[in-house]
Amino acid sequence: MKILQVNNLVKRFEGVVANNNITFSIEENEIVGLIGPNGAGKTTLFNCIAGYHKPDKGKIFFNGKDITGWPPYQTNVEGIARTFQVIESGGDMSVKEEIMVGGFCRTSNRYLAMKEAVEIIEFMKLQDVQDMKLTELPVAQQKRVGLARALATKPQLFMLDEVAAGLTPSEIEEMKELIVNIQKKWNLTIFIIEHVMQLVMGISARVIVLDGGVKIAEGTPDEVAHNEEVIKAYLGERYAKVRKG
């Protein structure tokens, strides 16, 4: 069953076409990667789906419902959660309170929001820092808080924007395992932008590639890794040889 369908999406900024007639779909419970060079239009596409930008043309369907141009709060209530490259802090709130904010998308009951936040904290192994502020944490734990806060909104489609950026090799492996475990525990559909190939290629069933605002390839990680156009635009010969070996 298709959970997300994007048809001929176009987004312009002052004459610059950031997304040009992009069409694709994502199946329920699938993990799909989105890759491409800087400026390819990946974040713009995410923002159009989540409601931070309104497309100039095209349609976006979520669970068969036309959500084109819906604002972020409405797409979030509908079941779409999006993380960001830079995790914004809620000010003086603790980690637990930051995660509770996500829970208030579904309930106004503070006790229930706290109970669910505690469950997510335990799963994300954030117990030791739950009373600290986000700004007091190292990057890897900040990333986990960002994931936890989005999870608290109880999404069906979990959109992750460069969750491995700034992490060490061992932290990347931990993040890779964490994403897979999140998907299994909550039966989520995951759509992930990532420049760290060992992560995105290691967990994705399919990978979509953008370049210059255009979709230039789509397929399994192996198919994409050996696509000549993708190698030329983004991956390079060295990566293709590593995948082949």
pLDDT at 115: 94
The DSSP string of 22-34 is EEEEEETT-EEEE
How confident is the model over 29-48, as pLDDT tens digits? 999 999 999 999 999 999 99
- How does the average pLDDT of the chain come out, rounded? 92
Residue 242 has pLDDT above 70, yes or no: no
CATH 3.40.50.300 range(s) for the chain read: 2-79+155-244
Beta-bridged to residue 153, according to DSSP, are none
Residue 245 has pLDDT above 50, yes or no: no
Q: Which CATH architecture has domain 2-79+155-244?
A: 3-Layer(aba) Sandwich (3.40)
Residue 87 has pLDDT above 90, yes or no: no
Which residues in 70-175 belong to E strands, given as ranges? 80-82, 157-161
Residue 22 has pLDDT above 90, yes or no: yes
pLDDT at 232: 85
Confidence of residue 160 (pLDDT cuts 50, 70, 90): very high
Q: Which of 101, 71, 79 is nearest to 89 (CA)?
A: 101
Give 84-90's long-range contacts (Cβ < 8 A, gap of 24+).
84/146, 84/161, 85/43, 85/161, 85/162, 85/165, 87/134, 87/142, 87/143, 87/145, 87/146, 89/133, 89/134, 89/135, 90/134
Whose tokens are 């979030």? That residue is 76
Top-confidence residue, 244 or 204: 204
How confident is the model over 220-233, as pLDDT tens digits? 999 999 899 998 88
Over residues 85-97, the mean pLDDT reads 82
Residue 75 has pLDDT above 70, yes or no: yes
pLDDT at 243: 53
How confident is the model over 123-155, as pLDDT tens digits? 999 999 999 999 899 999 999 999 999 999 999
pLDDT at 90: 65
- 44 residue type, one letter: T
Cα 168 to Cα 120: distance, rounded to the nearest angstrom = 24
Global pTM reads 0.92
CA distances from 62 to 28, 101, 195 (A): 11, 24, 26
Cα 229 to Cα 102: distance, rounded to the nearest angstrom = 40
Residue 66 has pLDDT above 90, yes or no: yes
- β-bridge pairing 2-13 and 80-82: unpaired
Residue 239 has pLDDT above 70, yes or no: no
